[in-house]
C-alpha cells in the first residue's frame, strides 16, 4: 500500500472517519494500529525492528532523564544513540563498508575473507532513527521530557503519514498535537485533500512520467553529452516532484487527522545560493543536520577554517545518510565544497558583480544566481543518480563538456522523449511553474484560489483529479522511500 494507490486513499478515509467517531482518549490506539498496518503492508518483515527500536528509544529516554548527573545522562545518551546507529549501520552500511574493505584489500593484495551478506534495508530506518536520535539528544539537553505514555510515544515513532519518507519531526512538535483533542474541521479536511491531490499530480504526471525517460539515458551504455545534460536537468525536476509530492501527501494526510507537520520544501530550484538551496530542500533533514551535527561540531570553534571543516563533515553525513554508496559520499562532499567555496569567494563575487555592473540590475542578478545555483545542484545530482562511481565520473565529464551544451545537440537530445510524453511534460511542467509563481507572489496558491469563484476552484480541482486519473502513471514508489 504505497501513497500512490486507491488502497491508501481508502485506508486514509477509513482512518480519518474512525478518528473523529471514536473518543479522543482511544484515538492513539487507532493511529498506532493504522501506522503499524501501513508499515506492515509495505514491509512486514521489519515490523519487529520498528517495535524494538520504539521500545528501546522509549526506555532509553526515561533512563537518561532519571540519571542524576550530567555525566551519567551523557553516558546513557551515547549508549542509546550507539545502539540505534548500530541497527542503522548494520542494515544500511554493512555491505558498503564490507565491499569497500574488500576492494581495498584486493588493491593492496591482502587476504579478505568476510563474504557479502544478503541484507535488505528496512523501510524507513533512516528516517525513524534520526527522529529517535533527536529525541534522546533533546532529553539529554532538557529540551524534551521523556514521554511516559507508551502509546503516544509509539505513534510519534511510527506515525504513518510521515514514517516512510518524513518530514522528520521532533517529538516536542508532534506528541503535544497527538495529545490534544483534534476536532473535526472542514478547513483541515479540505486542505488535506487538496495537498494530497497536488501530491498525486506532481508524482504521477511529472515525476513518474520523467523517471523512465531519465533512466533511458542513465542506463544507456553510450549516452551523448547533451542527453546527459538534459537527463540530469530532468532528473532534478523529477526528484523535486517526487519528493515534494511525498511530503505533500504526508502533510495532507496528517492535516486530515488534525495534525500539522513541518513543511519540507520551499521551491528549492529558485534558491539564489547553495546555502539558500539547503534552507529550501528537505528542510527537516537540513535542520536536523544543523542542530545535531553542525552546531555540536562548531562548539568552541572560532576559526573560519574550523567551521568550514564542520560544514564539510555535515554534508558528508548528509551524503552517507542518503545512501550507502561512494556516489552519495561524493555528492555530499560536492555540496560541502560548494558551501565552503561559496562562502570563501563571496566578497570576490560581489566585487565582480559590481565591476561588471550586474548589481545595478537586481532582477537579472537574482535570476543569474538562481540559474547558477540550479546548474550546480544539477551537476551534483549526476553523482546522486549514477549507479557507480566510474559511471558518475563518465557522466560528470560529459556534463561539464562544452560541446554537450551546444544548442543543436540539446535540441537533438529531446529525442529521448516520445512526442506525446514531451507535450504532456511541457504542459504539466507549465502548470507546476504557474502554481509556484502564484505561491511566490501570494504566499499560498490555495489561499489565492479560495479568493476565486466556486466555478474556478472546482474547475481546477476537477482538472487535477482528471489529469491524474486519465494521464497519471505510477512507478516504483518514491525515490526517498528507498533511503
Partner 1 sequence: MRNIEKYRNAFIHVLELEEDEVVENLELAESAEWDSIAHMALISEIEDVFDVSLDSEWMTEFNSYQSGIELLERLGVDFINE
Cα→Cα distances 192→216, 394, 442, Å = 35, 44, 20
Q: Does 301 bind partner 1 (CB under 8 A)?
A: yes
Say how many CA atoms lie within 13 Å of 161 toward its Cβ: 30
Specify the residue, 143 or 440, whose C-beta has the smaller distance to partner 1.
143
- For the bound state, the minimum distance from the C-beta of residue 302 to partner 1, rounded and expressed in Å, comes to 5
- Return all residues near 209 (Cβ < 8 A) that are at least 6 apart: 421, 424, 425, 428, 473
Q: Does 300 bind partner 1 (CB under 8 A)?
A: yes
- For the bound state, the minimum distance from the C-beta of residue 295 to partner 1, rounded and expressed in Å, comes to 5
Candidates 25, 183, 299, 357; binder of partner 1 (CB under 8 A) is: 299
- C-alpha 232/C-alpha 396 separation (Å) is 10
Cα→Cα distances 80→128, 132, 148, 430, Å = 14, 9, 17, 48
Region 132-161 residues binding partner 1, contact defined as CB under 8 A? 141, 143
Q: Does 25 bind partner 1 (CB under 8 A)?
A: no
What does the angle CA 205 – CA 211 – CA 213 come to, to the nearest 5 degrees? 105
- Return all residues near 483 (Cβ < 8 A) that are at least 6 apart: 126, 127, 165, 321, 322, 323
Specify the residue, 3 or 277, whose C-beta has the smaller distance to partner 1.
277
Candidates 25, 71, 183, 302; binder of partner 1 (CB under 8 A) is: 302
Per 3-state DSSP, the chain is made up of helix, strand and coil in percentages (nearest 5) of 80, 0, 20
Cα→Cα distances 179→27, 28, 118, 269, 344, Å = 9, 8, 41, 37, 47
Q: Does 69 bind partner 1 (CB under 8 A)?
A: no
**Segment contacting partner 1 by CB under 8 A, of 228-236, 286-294, 436-444, 451-459:** 286-294
E-strand stretches of 45-116: none
- For the bound state, the minimum distance from the C-beta of residue 139 to partner 1, rounded and expressed in Å, comes to 13
Specify the residue, 117 or 347, whose C-beta has the smaller distance to partner 1.
347
**Segment contacting partner 1 by CB under 8 A, of 25-33, 52-60, 94-102, 292-300:** 292-300
Q: Does 304 bind partner 1 (CB under 8 A)?
A: yes
**Segment contacting partner 1 by CB under 8 A, of 189-197, 339-347, 392-400, 403-411:** 339-347
Catalytic machinery residues: 322
Region 168-227 residues binding partner 1, contact defined as CB under 8 A? none
Candidates 24, 66, 74, 346; binder of partner 1 (CB under 8 A) is: 346
Nearest to 123 by CA among 58, 51, 56, 44: 44
Specify the residue, 25 or 300, whose C-beta has the smaller distance to partner 1.
300
Specify the residue, 290 or 412, whose C-beta has the smaller distance to partner 1.
290
Give 451: exposed, middle or buried? Use CB within 10 Å, 0-12, 13-18, 19+: exposed
Candidates 117, 222, 347, 441; binder of partner 1 (CB under 8 A) is: 347
Spatial contact of 363 and 131, defined as CB atoms under 8 Å apart: no
**Segment contacting partner 1 by CB under 8 A, of 294-302, 322-330, 406-414, 465-473:** 294-302
Q: Does 74 bind partner 1 (CB under 8 A)?
A: no
Q: Does 451 bind partner 1 (CB under 8 A)?
A: no
Contact mark string toward partner 1, 241..280, x via CB under 8 A: ----------------------------------x-----
Could you tell me how far CA 224 lies from the centroid of its own chain? 30
**Segment contacting partner 1 by CB under 8 A, of 41-49, 98-106, 306-314, 462-470:** 306-314
- C-alpha 429/C-alpha 240 separation (Å) is 12
Total site size for partner 1, rule CB under 8 A: 21
Please give the full DSSP string across 185-233, using - where no structure is assigned: -HHHHHHHHHHHHHHHHIIIIIIHHHHHHHHHHHT-SS--HHHHHHHHH
Spatial contact of 178 and 155, defined as CB atoms under 8 Å apart: yes
Q: Does 405 bind partner 1 (CB under 8 A)?
A: no
Specify the residue, 164 or 310, whose C-beta has the smaller distance to partner 1.
310
- For the bound state, the minimum distance from the C-beta of residue 343 to partner 1, rounded and expressed in Å, comes to 5
- For the bound state, the minimum distance from the C-beta of residue 308 to partner 1, rounded and expressed in Å, comes to 7
- C-alpha 225/C-alpha 400 separation (Å) is 9
**Segment contacting partner 1 by CB under 8 A, of 205-213, 287-295, 398-406, 444-452:** 287-295
Count helices and strands in the chain by DSSP H and E runs: 24, 0
Specify the residue, 222 or 347, whose C-beta has the smaller distance to partner 1.
347
- For the bound state, the minimum distance from the C-beta of residue 338 to partner 1, rounded and expressed in Å, comes to 14
- Coil, strand, or helix at residue 325? coil
- Coil, strand, or helix at residue 434? helix
Q: Does 71 bind partner 1 (CB under 8 A)?
A: no
Q: Which positions lie near partner 1, rule CB under 8 A?
A: 141, 143, 275, 290-292, 295, 298-304, 307-308, 310, 343, 346-347, 350
Amino acid at each position: 500500500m504505497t501513497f500512490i494507490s486507491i488502497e491508501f486513499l481508502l485506508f486514509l478515509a477509513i482512518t480519518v472517519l474512525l478518528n473523529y467517531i471514536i473518543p479522543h482518549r482511544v484515538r492513539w490506539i487507532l493511529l498506532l494500529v493504522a501506522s503499524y498496518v501501513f508499515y506492515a503492508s509495505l514491509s512486514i518483515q521489519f515490523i519487529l525492528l520498528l517495535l524494538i527500536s520504539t521500545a528501546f528509544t522509549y526506555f532509553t529516554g526515561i533512563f537518561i532523564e532519571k540519571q542524576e548527573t550530567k555525566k551519567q545522562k551523557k553516558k546513557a545518551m551515547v549508549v542509546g544513540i550507539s545502539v540505534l546507529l548500530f541497527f542503522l549501520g548494520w542494515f544500511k552500511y554493512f555491505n558498503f563498508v564490507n565491499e569497500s574493505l574488500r576492494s581495498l584489500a584486493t588493491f593492496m593484495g591482502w587476504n579478505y575473507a568476510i563474504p557479502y551478506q544478503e541484507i535488505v534495508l528496512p523501510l524507513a530506518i533512516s528516517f525513524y532513527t534520526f527522529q529517535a536520535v533527536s529525541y534522546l539528544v533533546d532529553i539529554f539537553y532538557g529540551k524534551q521530557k521523556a514521554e511516559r505514555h507508551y502509546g503516544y510515544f509509539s505513534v510519534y515513532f511510527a506515525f504513518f503519514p510521515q514514517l516512510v519518507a518524513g518530514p522528520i519531526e521532533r517529538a516536542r512538535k508532534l506528541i503535544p498535537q497527538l495529545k490534544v483533542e483534534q476536532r473535526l474541521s472542514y478547513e483541515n479536511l479540505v486542505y488535506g485533500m487538496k495537498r494530497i491531490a497536488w501530491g498525486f499530480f506532481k508524482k504521477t504526471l511529472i515525476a513518474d512520467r520523467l523517471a523512465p525517460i531519465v533512466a533511458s539515458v542513465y542506463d544507456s551504455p553510450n549516452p551523448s553529452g547533451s542527453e546527459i545534460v538534459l537527463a540530469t536537468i530532468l532528473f532534478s525536476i523529477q526528484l523535486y516532484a517526487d519528493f515534494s509530492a511525498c511530503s505533500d501527501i504526508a502533510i495532507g494526510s496528517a492535516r486530515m487527522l488534525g495534525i500539522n507537520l513541518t513543511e519540507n520544501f520551499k521551491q528549492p530550484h529558485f534558491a539564489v545560493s547553495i546555502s539558500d538551496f539547503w534552507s529550501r530542500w528537505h528542510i527537516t533533514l537540513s535542520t536536523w543536520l544543523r542542530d545535531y551535527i553542525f552546531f555540536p561540531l562548531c562548539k568552541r570553534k572560532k576559526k573560519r577554517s574550523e567551521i568550514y571543516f564542520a560544514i564539510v563533515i555535515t554534508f558528508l553525513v548528509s551524503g552517507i545518510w542518503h545512501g550507502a554508496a561512494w556516489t552519495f559520499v561524493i555528492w555530499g562532499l560536492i555540496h560541502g565544497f560548494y558551501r565552503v567555496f561559496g562562502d570563501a569567494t563571496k566578497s570576490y563575487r560581489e566585487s565582480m558583480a559590481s565591476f561588471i555592473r550586474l548589481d545595478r540590475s537586481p532582477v537579472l542578478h537574482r535570476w543569474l544566481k538562481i540559474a547558477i545555483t540550479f546548474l550546480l545542484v544539477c551537476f551534483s545530482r549526476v553523482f546522486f543518480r549514477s549507479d557507480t562511481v566510474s559511471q558518475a565520473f563518465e557522466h560528470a565529464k560529459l556534463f561539464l563538456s562544452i560541446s554537450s551544451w551546444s544548442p543543436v545537440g540539446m535540441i537533438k537530445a529531446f529525442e529521448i522523449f516520445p512526442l506525446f510524453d514531451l507535450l504532456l511534460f511541457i504542459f504539466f511542467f507549465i502548470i507546476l511553474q504557474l502554481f509556484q509563481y502564484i505561491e511566490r507572489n501570494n504566499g499560498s496558491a490555495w489561499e489565492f484560489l479560495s479568493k476565486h469563484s466556486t466555478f474556478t476552484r472546482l474547475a481546477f480541482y476537477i482538472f487535477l483529479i482528471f489529469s491524474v486519473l486519465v494521464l497519471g502513471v505510477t512507478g516504483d514508489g518514491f525515490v526517498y522511500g528507498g533511503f
